[in-house]
Amino acid sequence: MRRFPTFVETGMFPLGKGRTMDKIGLIGIGLVGTAIAERLLSSNFDVVGFDIDSARCRHFEKLGAKAVSTPAEVACETDRIVLSLPDTETVRQVVEGPAGILEAKTLPTYIIDTTTGDPEETVALAQRLAERGIYFLDATISGSSRQVRDRQAVFMVGGDKAAFERCMDIFQALTEKVFYLGPSGNGSRAKLASNLILGLNRLALAEGLVFASKLGLEPEAFLELLKVSPAYSAAMDTKGKKMLNGDFTPESRIRQHHKDVSLILKYAEMAGQELPLSRVHLNVLEKAIAAGDGEMDNSAVIREIERRHRS
C-alpha cells in the first residue's frame, strides 16, 4: 500500500475564492454517502451536500452537515467534491447535466468519484473535466457502508498523482487503506476486478452454508470452522452472520452488485475473456431481483440458493 503525506496548501493548487480546505462537498447521500459524511464530520470537516431524496437530506443535516438544492450549489461552496452515486450515467448528469457541477458560477478544482462506474466513460469524463481545469479522481471503494463507517474500506484511486496527494487529507479521514493505481480509469478497473472476486466469495459462502445445513451440520459452528480453515474469505466476517441470522438490512444492495457484475461481463467480453462463474453469478442475482430481493443486502443471495434447493 502506498501512503502519501498530507500536503499543506501551496500555490500550485490554489483553492477557489472564499473556500477553505476543511469544507468538502458531497453529492449522493445513500448508504455509502451517509457513511462518508459521518467520517468527514468526525474528522472536523464542514460538509455541504446534495441528494435527490429529501429525507436523506434531512438526515444529513441532523448529522451536522448542510444540505443544498442542486449539485451546482455544492460546487459554489466547495473546491473539493466527493461523489457517491449509483452509476456512471448518474455521475455524468450530476457533473454535466442541468443544475450540475459545471453550471456553478465557480467551478471546483477536485472531484473524487467513489462510484463503481464504467472505466472508459470515467476516462472520457476525466479528460473533459481536465479541459475545464478540474482534476477528476476515480476513487472506488471495496467495502460496505459499515466498513466505510468503521474506516476499514479499501480505496482504489486513479487519476493525476499530484491531485491525489492534494486530497490525501480526505482519504485519510475515510480509510486506513488507500492505494494509488495510476492514470484515470484504473480505480474503476481495479474495482471491477476486485468485485468479481468478492461477489463470487459471497456466493460460494452462501452455497456452502446451505450445503452444510443440508448435510446436517450446525450452521453457526460450521461458520466458525470456516473462518480458521483454508476456505476462509473476508466475506465470512462481513456476511456470514447476516446470512445465518436472516438479517438482510442493506449495507450494500443486490441490485447494485447486479449492475457491477453486468459491467464486469461487458469488459471481459471486450477483453476476449470468458467468465463462466460470473455468468452463473449474474443469473443468481437476476433471479434474486425477480423474487423481490433487489434492495436487500448482498448477503441475501443465500435466499436464492435456498429457493433453488426447494425447487
Reply yes or no on whether the pLDDT at 8 is more than 70.
Answer: no
> Sheet containing 135-142: which strands, arranged edge to edge?
66-67, 46-50, 23-27, 80-83, 110-113, 135-142, 154-158, 177-180
Reply yes or no on whether the pLDDT at 10 is more than 90.
Answer: no
pLDDT tens per residue across span 198-215: 999 999 999 999 999 999
- As a whole number of angstroms, the distance between CA 184 and CA 287 comes to 34
Residue 2: what pLDDT? Answer: 38
- As a whole number of angstroms, the distance between CA 282 and CA 234 comes to 21
Reply yes or no on whether the pLDDT at 9 is more than 80.
Answer: no
Reply yes or no on whether the pLDDT at 43 is more than 80.
Answer: yes
Name the percent of the chain lying above pLDDT 70: 93
Residue 19: what pLDDT? Answer: 60
CATH 1.10.1040.10 assigned to domain 190-310? The reply is yes
pLDDT tens per residue across span 216-232: 999 999 999 999 999 99
Q: How confident is the model at residue 17 (pLDDT cuts 50, 70, 90)?
A: very low
CATH 3.40.50.720 assigned to domain 23-183? The reply is yes
Which is it for the CA torsion 51, 167, 189, 37, positive or negative?
Answer: negative
- As a whole number of angstroms, the distance between CA 65 and CA 26 comes to 10
Report the DSSP pairing between strands 135-142 and 154-158.
antiparallel
Report the DSSP pairing between strands 110-113 and 80-83.
parallel
Reply yes or no on whether the pLDDT at 253 is more than 60.
Answer: yes
pLDDT tens per residue across span 54-97: 999 999 999 999 999 999 999 999 999 999 999 999 999 999 99
Residue 235: what pLDDT? Answer: 96
**In this structure, are residues 179 and 1 in contact, taking their beta carbons and an 8 Å threshold?**
yes
Q: How confident is the model at residue 3 (pLDDT cuts 50, 70, 90)?
A: very low
Question: What is the domain partition of the chain in residue ranges?
Answer: 23-183, 190-310
Name the percent of the chain lying above pLDDT 90: 92
Residue 7: what pLDDT? Answer: 34
Residue 283: what pLDDT? Answer: 98
